[in-house]
Amino acid sequence: MLFLYVEQNQNTWLEALQKWCPSLSVVTQNDAYDPEQVRWVAAWNPPPGLFAPFQQLKGVFALGAGVDAFVRRPDLADNIPLVRLLDAGMAQQMVEYILWSVLTVQRDFDTYAQLQQQQTWQVSMARSRAEMRLGVLGLGALGQSVAQQLAELGYPVQGWKRSAIDLPGVDVLTGEAGLEQVIRHSDVLISLLPNTPQTQGLLSYERLSRLPQGAVLVNVARGVQVVDEDLIRLLDDGHLRLAVLDVFYPEPLPSEHPFWAHPKVVVTPHVAAETLPYPAAEQVAESLRQLDQGETPAGLVTGREGY
């Protein structure tokens, strides 16, 4: 038996899992079932205590790329295999969202929107792709895809990762010195970092103030990584040109939060890359088969660091 927990599109997820896992009984919190019969859980944003009734678990599937909501929690033992999605349609969506953000400033669309409000006809000089230095923080599966595709489009791309990797077309840096270099040389800084104790509050005034004058922050990772007050301060004093934010702490973004009305902030409701149920369910089915046969799924989380 597989237990499904999602907050939206439950029927679509049920249909997808039933298609790709026909031999399993798929249940939700709305069904009558015996928790002792549950061997697998597929979930997103699991609430506290969700896993406690399931004492016969053989594996858990995170229906997204991030697993911070699944780690360091008392109701899920570290020895239970945890598998995250590697793509499921998210990578291309993420590239599109970030490319839109980059083009907004490269072609001055943010400036033209302001000029329209003023009924001012004024032409800005566009920049070429080669003039737009992009920095990608976090080179997991999504980050690598984003960085490489942007580089293939002709943008100079630097990436930062905890451990060194070879990524064609991307200058990969590591360590504190590497982080410093990426920040100092990014006209657009893109965060795709996992949510860990080390990344929480990482994008503070101290670091963001080292971005070049007129730089842009794009955060599609986790809201807790940005110190909101520091970001607003840098936008207000003109050091930063724009912030494109898809993630916040908390979510939904409270109605009284200053981001909503700030003229230099673009707010989107955590939609940069949404999991597509059918490709995701296919991945779950393959990972489940591999676990059941003693194999190692590609998305197996080998530690509990939060990614």
CA 298 vs. chain centroid, Å, equals 19
Does 239 qualify as catalytic in the annotation?
no
Burial 173-209 (b: 16+ CB within 10 A, else e): beeeebbebbbebbbbbbbbbbbbeebbebbeeebbe
User: What DSSP character marks residue 218?
Assistant: E
Report angle CA 306, 140, 109 to the nearest 5 degrees. Answer: 110
Q: Report DSSP state, residue 203.
A: B
d(CA 137, CA 267): 20
Catalytic residue selected from 233, 239, 257, 270 = 270
Identity of the amino acid at 160:
W
Active-site entry in 207, 222, 241, 262: 222
The sign of the CA dihedral 14, 17, 23, 24 is negative
Which residues make Cβ contacts (< 8 Å) with residue 209, sequence separation at least 6? 234, 239
Sign of the four-CA dihedral 288, 293, 296, 300 = positive
185 is catalytic: no
- Strands of the chain (E only): list them: 2-5, 26-27, 40-43, 59-62, 82-84, 134-137, 157-160, 171-173, 188-191, 215-219, 240-245, 265-267
* Residues acting as catalytic residues: 222, 270
